Structure 1
Amino acid sequence: MPTPEFITELRTHIGHEMLWLSGVKVVVFDHDRVLLVRRADNGQWTLPAGIIDPGEEASHTASREVLEETGIRCEITDLLGVGITAPTVYPNGDQAQYLDVVFKAVHVSGQPVCADDENLEVAYFSLDDRPQLPPLHERAITWALNPRPGGYFAA
Structure 2
Amino acid sequence: MATPDFVLSLRKRIGHDPLPLIGATAVVFRDEKVLLGKRADNGAWQTIAGIVEPGEEPADAAARECLEEAGIVVSVDRLALVQQLPRVTYVNGDQVDYLDIVFRCSWVSGEPHPADGELTEVGFYDLAAMGDVDDAHVRKIALAMAEDDPAHFRGGRVKR
TM more than 0.5: yes
| Rounded Cα–Cα distance in structure 2 between residues aligned with 1:38 and 1:120 | 6
Q: Match for residue 90 of structure 1? A: 90
Mark the runs of 5 or more structure 2 residues left unpaired by the alignment. 156-160
Deviation per residue, 1:54-76 (Å, 9 max, x gap)? 10000000000011000010000
Q: Which residue type is aligned with residue 102 of structure 1?
A: V
Q: Which residue type is aligned with residue 20 of structure 2?
A: W
Q: Match for residue 105 of structure 2? A: 105
1:130 is the counterpart of 2:130: yes
1:25 is the counterpart of 2:25: yes
Q: Match for residue 77 of structure 1? A: 77
Q: Which residue type is aligned with residue 51 of structure 1?
A: I
Q: Which residue type is aligned with residue 11 of structure 2?
A: R
| Rounded Cα–Cα distance in structure 2 between residues aligned with 1:66 and 1:154 | 26
Specify the SS of the correspondent of 2:124. Answer: strand
Structure label with greater radius of gyration: 2
TM-score by length of 2: 0.92
| Rounded Cα–Cα distance in structure 1 between residues aligned with 2:10 and 2:63 | 25
Q: Match for residue 158 of structure 2? A: none
Shift of 1:15: 0.8
Shift of 1:24: 1.0
Q: Match for residue 15 of structure 1? A: 15
Shift of 1:112: 0.8
The verdict on how the C-alpha distance between 1:132 and 1:154 changes in structure 2, with shifts beyond 3 A counting, is farther
Q: Match for residue 56 of structure 2? A: 56
The verdict on how the C-alpha distance between 1:112 and 1:149 changes in structure 2, with shifts beyond 3 A counting, is closer
Please say if residues 79 and 151 of structure 1, whose CA atoms lie closer than 8 Å, have aligned partners that are also in contact: yes
Moved over 6 A (4+): none
TM-score by length of 1: 0.95
| Rounded Cα–Cα distance in structure 2 between residues aligned with 1:41 and 1:141 | 22
Q: Which residue type is aligned with residue 107 of structure 1?
A: W
Shift of 1:148: 6.3
Specify the SS of the correspondent of 2:116. Answer: coil
The verdict on how the C-alpha distance between 1:149 and 1:31 changes in structure 2, with shifts beyond 3 A counting, is closer
Please say if residues 80 and 147 of structure 1, whose CA atoms lie closer than 8 Å, have aligned partners that are also in contact: no
Please say if residues 45 and 131 of structure 1, whose CA atoms lie closer than 8 Å, have aligned partners that are also in contact: no
